[in-house]
Structure 1
Amino acid sequence: MKRFLLGAAVVLLIVFGVRYCENQQNEREQLAQNSQLIQEQIKNVGKLVVTEGNFSQVWSYKDSKKFYLDVFSARKKALIVVNAKVTVSYDLSELETEIDQENKRVIIKSIPKEELNIYPDIQYYDVTQDYLNQFEASDYNTIKKKVTASIKKKVEASSIKSNAQNRLISELSKIYILTNSMGWTLEYNDMPVNSQNDFNDIKL
């Protein structure tokens, strides 16, 4: 009887041991699969997110030069019409992440900064210039710099940047949705992201 009980105990230990090893193996395989899915999602998110806008402006340019002890002056002026295409982009291929498979964590280590580009199309009308004060390359360069600075101020006062951030958050939320569905934790700045709304508090 004792031998029977001892044999039964050994068999049970072997069965439980095999099942434990199988469960451990299944968990490792599941972790590896989840990790791969997350890596694929991060790869899919890693694209260029671009928000475009168009800005227009009309202004006049005037310049004068004095000659002969300020007795004579030479003038030039033009009406300038500017139509500028503006893009605000985030290159999410530069998104830095770390996958902690053991603790089921995905850590966003760095979010790329926005990139602002202004492409002004400058048209000149009603151009008048005196012989001694004509338009030169330096004038056009100065005008372009002033135009770009002026458009940039308009961009800062518009909603294009916030729209771009909303698109960025939408892309990052895809990572949260996947990790959350798998029971993983998404972190940024040493803080867990507990909902999609938490991304709105991220300082970019």
Structure 2
Amino acid sequence: MRKYLLVAVLTLLVFFAIRYFIERKDDSSTLEYNTQLIQKQIENVGKLVVTEGHFAEVITYKDRDKYLMDMLSFEKKALVIVNADVSVSYDLHQVTYDIDKKNKTIEILTIPKEEIKIDPQLTFYDVEQTTLSLFTGDDYNKINKKVRDDLMKKVRASSLQSNAQNRLVSELSKMLILTSSMGWTLEYKGKPVADEKQLGQQLKN
């Protein structure tokens, strides 16, 4: 009788040992599978987010060429019509992150700054110049710089940047949805992200 009891006890021990190792293996496989899913989602998010706009303005350029110790000068001027395509973008391929499998957290380490591209097309009207005061490459460089500076101020004052950031938050929130559905935690700047609104606030700070 004792012999049968001993065999039964040993059988139970073997059964629970096998079950324990199988469950550990399953947990490990599930963790690895979830990690791969999250990495794949991050790759899908990694793209160029672009918000585009168009600006137009009219500027008057004036300058003088001076001779004989500034005693003689000749003015040149032009009316410049500016039409510019502007884009504000985030290259999400540059997002860096850290995956902590043990604690089931994804921490976003860095998010790239926005890139503002300005492509102005200039049309000149009412150009006034003389033989001694001709438009040169230096004048066109000055005009181009002034146009870009003025347009940059307009972009900063417009909704283009905030619209681009909203699109950025929308893309990154896809990571938040996936991690939450798997029981993982998304973090940014060392703080857990609870929802899309909080993510947007943390990005602005």
TM-score range, shorter chain: over 0.9
3-state SS of paired residue (1:37): helix
Structure 2 equivalent of residue 145 of structure 1: 145
* Structure 2 CA distance for partners of 1:70 and 1:24, relative to 1, 3 Å: closer
Structure 2 equivalent of residue 159 of structure 1: 159
CA distance in 1, matches of 2:197, 2:5: 59
5+ long unaligned stretches in structure 2: none
- Alignment pair present for 1:85 and 2:85: yes
Identical pairs, percent: 51
Residue identity opposite 1:154 in structure 2:
K
Structure 2 equivalent of residue 194 of structure 1: 194
**Residue 203 of structure 1: CA displacement?**
3.3
CA distance in 2, matches of 1:114, 1:52: 13
CA distance in 1, matches of 2:70, 2:43: 67
**Residue 64 of structure 1: CA displacement?**
2.3
5+ long unaligned stretches in structure 1: none
Structure 2 equivalent of residue 178 of structure 1: 178
CA distance in 1, matches of 2:163, 2:124: 32
TM superposition score normalised by structure 2: 0.94
CA distance in 2, matches of 1:40, 1:197: 24
- Alignment pair present for 1:131 and 2:131: yes
Structure 2 equivalent of residue 12 of structure 1: 12
**Residue 66 of structure 1: CA displacement?**
4.0
TM superposition score normalised by structure 1: 0.95
C-alpha contact 1:58 1:81 (8 A) present in aligned 2: yes
* Structure 2 CA distance for partners of 1:82 and 1:16, relative to 1, 3 Å: same
* Structure 2 CA distance for partners of 1:36 and 1:70, relative to 1, 3 Å: closer
RMSD: 1.4
**Residue 172 of structure 1: CA displacement?**
0.5
3-state SS of paired residue (1:81): strand
Residue identity opposite 2:18 in structure 1:
V
**Residue 72 of structure 1: CA displacement?**
4.2
CA distance in 1, matches of 2:100, 2:69: 77
**Residue 6 of structure 1: CA displacement?**
2.2
**Residue 115 of structure 1: CA displacement?**
0.9
Structure 1 equivalent of residue 117 of structure 2: 117
